[in-house]
Structure 1
Amino acid sequence: MTLAQAERAALVETLRGTGPDAPTLCDGWTTRDLLAHLIVRERRLDAAPGIMVKPLSGYTERVRAGVAERDFDALLTQLASGPPIYSPFFLIDRVANLAEMFVHHEDVLRGAVQADSDWTPRTLSPELEKGLVTPVKSVGKMTLRSSPATVVLRTPDGTELTSGGHGPRVTVTGPVGELLLFAFGRAPVTVAFDGDAEAVASVRSAPRGF
């Protein structure tokens, strides 16, 4: 089983436990909405482009809303089975879906967590942490390029994974999984900021993600 498959299976089990109406970190989406998004992404070739292409997003959302009305358990079965053979993700699941499954799994796990609350993220295996390094580098390079400071993503051992933006340097330090969530604009995340106070404040409040 690949890391992407393992994280998919873990996400499915978490969704079974939360049910269809739990909150997520995706604004306005319940777990049912998030599940429908994942199904559309892998199985509706006519609608999936609108996930990334804004002019097509209206159609994508209508399709996603329709999918969300289906039986929750049936949708879970589809997600658990992985991308169908006709999906562009069928051959690249290992590469393209690890970050997707991880981030959305955390969207569910952290959906009811308040950003300023006392909470502890799950402990990731060394294998999963290693597997998430490449997504941190690629995603961070894209989402940090417009940052109001030069943001450097660094692991606790001092390894700098990627950077982006312009201006004074702000170092964001945390485990690989937390850095990926930060790069995607998720909160809460357990990272530490180092740099000029004004620059840090601007980075913390700046939008990230796609």
Structure 2
Amino acid sequence: MTASSRPLAARERAELADLLERLGPDAPTCCAGWSTAHLAAHLVVRERRPDALPGLGVEQLGVARPLTAWSHRLEDRLRTSTPFPEVVGRLRAGPPAWSPMGLPGLADAVNTAEFVIHHEDVRRAQPDWTARTLDRADQDRLWGAAVLFARRQRGGAVLRRTDVPADAKRIGGGGTAVAGEPLELLLWAAGRRDVARVTGS
């Protein structure tokens, strides 16, 4: 299997691990209050601690609950007790066979947006970052993820692809109209408004 034929989630995982190794544990990210060490620990706990998943799930909904506090304690414990290169090594290796995140089919479905967004969280927090060019197949995959994430937008939204001008999606009652490539729309919908290259937001 060539690099380009590997699933997008697998490629993003590998590239993110490479970037984390290069930057080290103290580099900034686009996640408020998180260094690269925090982000790496989050991704590893997500895949290796099923008891963290409920808390991470309600956090995605913007709800503060005791379960979320438990998930963060697990992340902090890993980050402070395990050398950063080892954490990155676990991230690169992927979930163990017993993890729900390792189930065939599920892993790619739940990891694609996660790894793309967090890869960009690290990339775009660095002073010399530049936008990436993704091929059409990858952008098509991210289009679906962007629409899914935009469903959280209060008041609805209208997403328009600039790489495929006829492609647009109205979510809810419409509301905010935003145009960009699917990667950029996904970042916008995931709350990365300061770094997403979109128009109309």
2:161 match: 155
1:189 match: 196
The structure carrying a bigger helix percent of its residues is 2
Could you tell me whether the CA contact under 8 Å between 2:185 and 2:198 is conserved in 1? yes
Q: Relative to 1, partners in 2 of residues 1:119 and 1:7: Cα closer, same or farther, differing over 3 Å?
A: closer
Q: Match of 2:178, SS?
A: strand
Counterparts of 1:23-34 in structure 2 under 5 Å?
A: 23-34=28-39
Show CA shifts across 1:131-165 (max 9, x none): 21221121212x22x13xx4201101324443335
1:93 match: 107
Q: 1-side partners of 2:130 and 2:17: how far apart?
A: 21
2:135 match: 125
Show CA shifts across 1:37-70 (max 9, x none): 0011110112232112332111111111011121
1:136 match: 146
2:96 match: 84
Show CA shifts across 1:77-106 (max 9, x none): 111111111111112111110100000000
2:3 match: none
| Paired residue type of 2:35 | T
Matched residues, number: 185
Q: Which residue, 69, 72, 78 being the options, matches 1:67?
A: 78
Q: 1-side partners of 2:116 and 2:41: how far apart?
A: 16
Could you tell me whether the CA contact under 8 Å between 1:35 and 1:75 is conserved in 2? yes
Q: 2-side partners of 1:67 and 1:162: how far apart?
A: 40
1:107 match: 121
Cα drift, residue 108 of structure 1: 0.2
Q: Which runs of 5+ in 1 are unaligned?
A: 194-203, 205-210
TM-score, normalised via structure 2 length: 0.85
Q: Which runs of 5+ in 2 are unaligned?
A: 1-5, 59-63
TM-score, normalised via structure 1 length: 0.81
